[in-house]
Amino acid sequence: MSARGLHAGIVITALGVALAASSHARAEDPMDMDAVLHRSFRTATPDEWTSRLAQDETQALCSRYRNLPPAEVAAKIREAQERTFRYPGDGRLSGDWRDGAKLAAIGTGGHIGRIQPDPPGRPKGGNCYACHELAKGEVAAGNLGPSLTGFGLRLGDTAESRAYTYRKIYNAQAFHACSAMPRFGTNGWLTPEQIADLVAYLLDPGSPVNAR
Amino acid sequence: MTFRDRLLPWVTALASCLVLVAGARAEGRSAADAIHEYREMLEDANPADLVEMRGEELWSTARGPRHASLEQCDLGLGPGVLDGAYARLPRYFADTGRVQDAESRLVTCITRLQGIPREDVVRHWYRRGSDIEALVTFVAARSKGSPVDVPAREPHEAALLAVGADFFFRRSGPLDFACSTCHSQDDRRIRLQEVPNFTDPAAARASMTQWPAYRVSQSSVWTMERRLVDCIRQMRYPEPGFASDVLVALQLYLQHQASGGVMQGPGIRR
Amino acid sequence: MAYPMKIRANSDGTETEVKILMSHPMETGRRKDEDGNPVPAHFIRNITVTHGDVVVLSAQWGPAISANPFLSFRFRGGVPGEMVKVAWRDNLGDTKSQEAMIA
């Protein structure tokens, strides 16, 4: 055996050890986020783990870049969201603004745990008022998102504005990667029909959002 | 827990409080200004004082199979040293090999000094009137006037601080929420509830130094763990365990951000 | 059992200001617990404050008063070193009585 061959053999062996050590360390590192989460949320069922703690690729990217992804990552995220849109069976993107008004105000649904879970079957709301001003004169509105009062007056109630509004509620990250707004449709929080009701609440000239 | 329909407590304060809130609306002042005035009016009347008195009794009374009090409990500054201890938590404790917050450390003391089984202490820790609520309130009150001091330079603390910061920005669940979704911008509200920007040390100091706090809407003192568990519930996550790493890591991050602020708690919150 | 009250009484030479913080659940009887069972009514019914032999405040309360009630009032008279006595009785017959020195 040549000296050179021996040398190469040593390098390969050393590399193998290093790889094994690093993958071992990752699995055992007690401060690895997955390990921390598994220890901390021990009572979560496998289904709750999958739907509430495990991340999809978009959530993982937005977390990694703390919601400021570089341009090429942002473009990749927007592209992925584009493929998630689904529409109501009847194709109507604007429904009943009265039903939308109720959904916009409901902040319950989907709470779990032993301390204060929602009763089974409690409807999930859009909770739009948590972050947005909507109906004129409703002061108990948050400001994490922009004011949407008069939204329909600005955009008009057209096929184009309905499609835009529907898609924005369905998945805001198709427009702005890592937007703070929940992807209500893509994540299955609201149905396409419920989103259409919210579109009506925002755009319909009769809705209190567009009161003059 | 049932939402209680009697939000406003104190008899004499009722009318003036309503006036204050209405006044705040009319003058366009923030809800925080009104609450601040409300707090000043009630300076001698924070019901957290009652909880604190109960905590003091629990601290100094011999209980459990070992008939011992908690007066030799080491909260990080040595056995029995209470003044300023809360302001330096969470911190690493060599005798347990863990970074611990006030709740977690008190449970260590209760199990070790008094011999009460952990599950008996922890089972209903989140309920109004729990021993944990009272003891944390008492311990925190003994840090009033002390600056929050959580440098987290010790290696275990530094590692958990990084976890806390990562968790703060980690998005998951059906609403894509992270803590940072609501707590990383100035002057934001959920409905009318102001949500502090914990990425800003000044805002972190202003908020964290008020906890634990008497929650008027719950008629009980909420410890920081109780507060965080409810935030996480509202994010639609599963419920983290009592004194779990996520809760300690988050507190480490928040207290680290708030370091330098002077403890004023137990405070009073809506 | 009833936990202690926190009582402060301060004289300005003419009047005495009394502040009382009481520990009491003040259950309305309409609330339900975590398991959906009604929580029985439990609230302070009568409260009396005396200065020497003189009743300086007497009140009848109902379930509309909040948990851990705070009561503040002033009466004419009172000298530092004298005592005020606060006593309450609730709808279940529990009582609590406590004194504080005027400062």
Q: Is the pLDDT of residue A21 over 90?
A: no
Residue C96 within any structural domain of the chain: yes
Q: What is the mean pLDDT of chain B?
A: 88
CA dist list (Å): A177 to A80, B154, B175: 10, 37, 15
| C53 burial level (CB within 10 Å; 0-12, 13-18, 19+) | exposed
B17–C contact, CB cutoff 8 A: no
Nearest to B237 among A33, A53, A142 (CB): A53
Distance CA B168, CA B177 (A): 10
Residue C61 within any structural domain of the chain: yes
Cβ contact C66–B49 (<8 Å):
no
Closest-CA residue of chain C to B215: C67
Residue B136 sits at the vertex; the CA angle it makes with C95 and B63, to the nearest 5 degrees, is 65
Which of B254, B127, B109 lies closest to B179, judged by CA? B254
Residue C33 within any structural domain of the chain: no
B–C: how many Cβ contacts below 8 A? Answer: 61
Distance CA C103, CA C98 (A): 16
Residue C82 within any structural domain of the chain: yes
Beta-bridge partner residues of B269:
B215
Of A9-18, A81-90, A151-160, B197-206, give the lowest mean pLDDT range. Answer: A9-18
Q: What is the CATH number of the domain that holds C45?
A: 2.60.40.10
Q: pLDDT at position B41, please?
A: 65
Which of B59, B81, B244, B47 lies closest to B135, judged by CA? B59
Which of C70, A101, A137 lies closest to B48, judged by CA? C70
Provide the domain limits for residue C71.
Answer: 5-27+41-101
Question: Per-residue b/e over A137-149, b at no fewer than 16 CB within 10 Å?
Answer: eeeebbbbbeebb
User: What distance separates the 2 farthest-apart alpha carbons in chain A?
Assistant: 91
Contacting residues for B140 by C-beta, under 8 A, at least 6 apart? B86, B102, B211, B212, B263, B265, B266
Pairwise pLDDT comparison (A21 vs A119), residue with the higher score? A119
Q: pLDDT at position C4, please?
A: 84
Pairwise pLDDT comparison (B248 vs B35), residue with the higher score? B248
pLDDT digits (tens, 9 = 90+) for B199-229: 999 999 999 999 999 988 888 999 999 999 9
Cβ contact B246–A31 (<8 Å):
no
Q: Is the pLDDT of residue C61 over 60?
A: yes
Distance CA A86, CA A191 (A): 9
pLDDT digits (tens, 9 = 90+) for A179-199: 999 999 999 999 999 999 999
Of A9-13, A95-99, A169-173, give the lowest mean pLDDT range. Answer: A9-13
pLDDT digits (tens, 9 = 90+) for B254-263: 999 999 999 9
Nearest to A52 among B163, B237, B246 (CB): B237
pLDDT digits (tens, 9 = 90+) for A39-63: 999 999 999 999 999 999 999 999 9
Percent of the residues in chain A that have a pLDDT greater than 90, as a whole number: 83
Residue C16 within any structural domain of the chain: yes
pLDDT digits (tens, 9 = 90+) for B26-38: 444 566 676 666 6
- Are A39 and B243 contacting, i.e. CB atoms less than 8 angstroms apart? no
pLDDT digits (tens, 9 = 90+) for C46-57: 999 999 999 999
Q: pLDDT at position B31, please?
A: 61
Distance CA A10, CA C62 (A): 86
Q: pLDDT at position A41, please?
A: 97
Which of B240, B245, B258, B242 lies closest to B97, judged by CA? B245
Q: Which chains touch B (3 or more CB pairs under 8 A)?
A: A, C
- Are B174 and A127 contacting, i.e. CB atoms less than 8 angstroms apart? no
Please confirm, yes or no, whether B179 is among the known catalytic residues: no
Sketch the domain layout of chain B as residue ranges: 48-269
**DSSP 8-class letter at B79:** B
Computed on alpha carbons and rounded to an integer, the radius of gyration of chain C in Å comes to 15
pLDDT digits (tens, 9 = 90+) for B69-114: 999 999 999 999 999 999 999 999 999 999 999 999 999 999 999 9
Pairwise pLDDT comparison (B8 vs A143), residue with the higher score? A143
Q: Report pTM.
A: 0.85
| Paired tokens of B201 | 């040390």
Which of C61, C60, C54 lies closest to C85, judged by CA? C54
C1–B contact, CB cutoff 8 A: no
Q: Is the pLDDT of residue B10 over 80?
A: no
Percent composition of chain C: helix, strand, coil (DSSP 3-state, to 5): 0, 50, 50
pLDDT digits (tens, 9 = 90+) for B119-156: 999 999 999 899 999 999 999 999 999 999 999 999 99
Q: What is the mean pLDDT of chain A?
A: 89
Of the pLDDT bands very low, low, confident and very high (cuts 50, 70, 90), residue B178 is: very high
Q: pLDDT at position B42, please?
A: 65
> Into how many domains does chain C fold?
1
CA dist list (Å): B70 to B63, B104, B105, B106, B234: 9, 14, 11, 9, 35
Distance CA B141, CA A129 (A): 36
Q: Which CATH number fits domain B48-269: 2.30.42.10, 3.40.1030.10, 1.10.760.10, 1.10.10.10?
A: 1.10.760.10
| Paired tokens of B135 | 């003891």
* Residue A102 parent element (H or E): helix A97-105
Q: How far is B269 from chain C (nearest CA, A)?
A: 15
